Amino acid sequence: MFQVVFIASIINALANHGCVCVKIIGGRDVKRGSGSFMASIQCADEHVCGGTLIHAQWVLTSANCALCYFQKIKTTVVLGTHSLKDKKQAQTLNVIFAKPHPAYSKNTEQNNLALLKLDQAAKLNKFVRTLSLPRSTKDIKYGTKCDVLGWGQTDVDDDNSSDTLKEINLTVIKRQLCNSKIYYNLNPVITDDMLCAGDEKGRAKMCRGDAGGPLICKTLIKQFAGIAAFEKDCEAVNKPGIYMRLSKNYVKWIKETIKRQMGNNHVGVN
């Protein structure tokens, strides 16, 4: 009973921090197999966050999503499932190491990234695949169309996560506008390492269930562009979601961290 209450307190702590997750309000079910890189990060077998399998033994997520691990509660990653209840094809692996970005700040939300190492390499197949890091780390232009995926809450009146993986279309918004009084008013400051994205009216799509999930943007090609980081007010129409942009420096940190931890067993990250 204590563990259940404690896990609930962790989820509430994430929520109060304003960085919990992406709620796919008004989203649609993802076509089976198209989200094979998605990871459900679970605390004592309860879904708390999303993540992306970028290497057979590594998941990229937001720094907030490593909280359970550092609280020494059983932290696992579920791969290869469209439904959180139906795990016929799923692989469940233990998290044995977590590395938030060394310059992560809870106050400013800067560098809100983390890597999770799994206890063994996932078996890659048609249900479980890695997602390549972006080859181009150029900034994503405002107006670019993107998709975000997650198992997050689908109804503002229901705190439960979605059973099925969902996605929704978003549009990248100018940082200047996102930093204006209309939106975030520099609290926090949306930096060049962040992307601000919402629907056609700039409304929020983040709340409870999928921080750490991937933002896939349609540039010349579809590419992995960012990580769902935070949302200050789930219900506000003027608080778009904020994503950590996979910049040159972040991609370098990701690759170097994995190489350092894997040593002679290192297999390159695409």
The bridge status of strand 114-118 relative to strand 158-161 is: unpaired
- Asked if residue 269 is part of any domain, the answer here is no
Indicate whether 98 and 151 sit together in one domain.
no
Is the confidence at residue 200, as pLDDT, over 90? no
Residues 194 and 103 in one domain: no
74 and 171 belong to one structural domain? no
pLDDT single digits (tens) 77-107: 999 988 888 878 899 999 999 999 999 998 8
Q: Examine the domain organization and report whether 6 and 79 are in the same domain.
A: yes
Radius of gyration of the chain (CA): 17
State whether 149 and 107 are in the same domain: no
Q: CATH number, domain at 118?
A: 2.40.10.10
**The token pair that represents 94 in the structure block:** 């233990």
Mean pLDDT of 105-126: 95
Rounded alpha-carbon distances, angstroms, from residue 199 to 42, 62, 146, 196, 205: 28, 22, 10, 11, 8
What band does 4 get if pLDDT is binned at 50, 70 and 90? very low
Whether residue 28 is contained in a domain is answered as no
Q: What is the extent of the structural domain holding 254?
A: 2-22+35-131+249-263
The answer on 111 and 165 residing in a single domain is no
d(CA 19, CA 208): 9
